[in-house]
Amino acid sequence: TLTSKLPNLVSEGAYSCHYSLPVKAYTLLLVGGGHVNQAIATLAATVGLPIQVVETRPAYATAPLFPQAKRIVVRESIEETLNEVHVDDYTFAIVASHAFDQVAAKILLDRSVAYLGVLGSRHKAKSLENSLKLSKEQRQRLYCPIGLDIGAQTPQEIAVSVIAEILSLIGSRRGGHMRDSSRRLVVVRGASSLALEVATYLTTNGWQTMIIAEETVQQTHLPIVVATDVRHAFGVVSSQQTALLFDPTGEVLDQLDPLCIVDATEGKSERPSAKEDAPLVVGLGPSCSLESGCDHQVAIEGTLAGTVHSAKPAGQTQSIDEAVLALMENFIRTYRQ
């Protein structure tokens, strides 16, 4: 039975396929027709969000003010307007009118919208929580003040902040700097059990880990999420899960900026890893060594079941997983200095 919208991998003998449920489109509901929601509507249309607008004042909800809107509803009360629009758990709602923010917030949170942004201060947020007696689950869907913290002041700047926040939620991202997020990213290349084990071990130890495989991965018990594209993969790793992205040509690597590449392809890739691809490039596998011509700073020879000698006291060994983790942690301490 299909129950998840995330891509899934099914393997049967020599055959494998990916399947996923159709993903329903997100929609945007704007409550209030003031300058902020006008600016939000303009920007939302450019990223493909269908828009509905509701108001109690006819002059603030006209087609010239909201040419992007699929539907505009004006009634005497905000309750009437909200009863006429369809909302569900794929709806992002923004209330930008102090005249009816409490009433609208109560109705929309009870109707399970995915996101309710209310224009206002932190004091307004606390007032809403107390007066409406919100549950923990409802408080998690309430965003007040709205938007990412970019110092927005004008309606247009607030619109950028709000749409960025919505996109970060859709993409399961935190909304930080791309420069900084990539500095914890580790790309593990390869489809072998060695590559998968190392990747999940790194994730368990706090690293954002993305597996790039050029061939089909056999069904595995490991907690790995198959990603549909780079954006989805970043969403997976930002939620502390291991992402698996298929890339037969090896071109995806050029779109990433990882701190470290762990190459377990053993030189069989269409697009070999090079020292210029990341600050640290580690060659991994029984046939990988610096003498073999691999373009890596470090080579760890061995198999998953075996051990690798390192700079530990004489006679001590460590697993491949431990060796990679120790190598990366030592490197990052030096890299940050």
Q: Tell me: the pLDDT tens digits for 96-140? A: 988 888 999 999 999 989 999 999 888 888 888 888 888 888 988
Share of the chain above pLDDT 90, in %: 36
Is residue 184 pLDDT above 50, yes or no? yes
Amino acid letter, residue 305: A
Task: Return the top range by mean pLDDT from 120-134, 253-267, 285-299.
Answer: 120-134
User: Which is it for strands 280-284 and 51-55: parallel, antiparallel or unpaired?
Assistant: unpaired
Using an 8 Å Cβ cutoff, are 2 and 21 in contact?
yes
Is residue 67 pLDDT above 50, yes or no? yes
Please provide the distance, in angstroms rounded to a whole number, between the alpha carbons at the two ends of the chain.
51
Is residue 315 pLDDT above 70, yes or no? no
Is residue 227 pLDDT above 80, yes or no? yes
Is residue 198 pLDDT above 70, yes or no? yes
User: Which is it for strands 280-284 and 185-189: parallel, antiparallel or unpaired?
Assistant: unpaired
Q: What structural domains and CATH numbers belong to the chain? A: 27-170 (3.40.50.720), 178-336 (3.40.50)
Following DSSP, what letter does each residue of 35-90 receive, concatenated? Answer: HHHHHHHHHHHHTT--EEEEES-GGGS-TTT-TT-SEEEE-SSHHHHHHTS---TT
Is residue 296 pLDDT above 80, yes or no? no
Using an 8 Å Cβ cutoff, are 300 and 283 in contact?
yes
Q: Is 128 helix (H, G, I), strand (E, B) or coil?
A: helix
* pLDDT of res. 70: 95
User: If 0-12 CB within 10 Å is exposed, 13-18 middle and 19+ buried, where does residue 5 land?
Assistant: exposed
Mean pLDDT, rounded, for 209-222: 79
Using an 8 Å Cβ cutoff, are 297 and 282 in contact?
yes
Is residue 60 pLDDT above 50, yes or no? yes
Share of the chain above pLDDT 70, in %: 74
Using an 8 Å Cβ cutoff, are 14 and 42 in contact?
no
Contacts of residue 57, Cβ cutoff 8 Å, sequence gap at least 6: 33, 74
Angle at the Cα of 128 from the Cα atoms of 122 and 132, rounded to 5 degrees: 160
Residue 260 CA to residue 257 CA, distance in Å, equals: 9
* pLDDT of res. 12: 65
Mean pLDDT of the chain: 80
- In order of 10, 211, 214, the CA distances from 217 in angstroms are 10, 10, 9
pTM: 0.57
* pLDDT of res. 3: 41
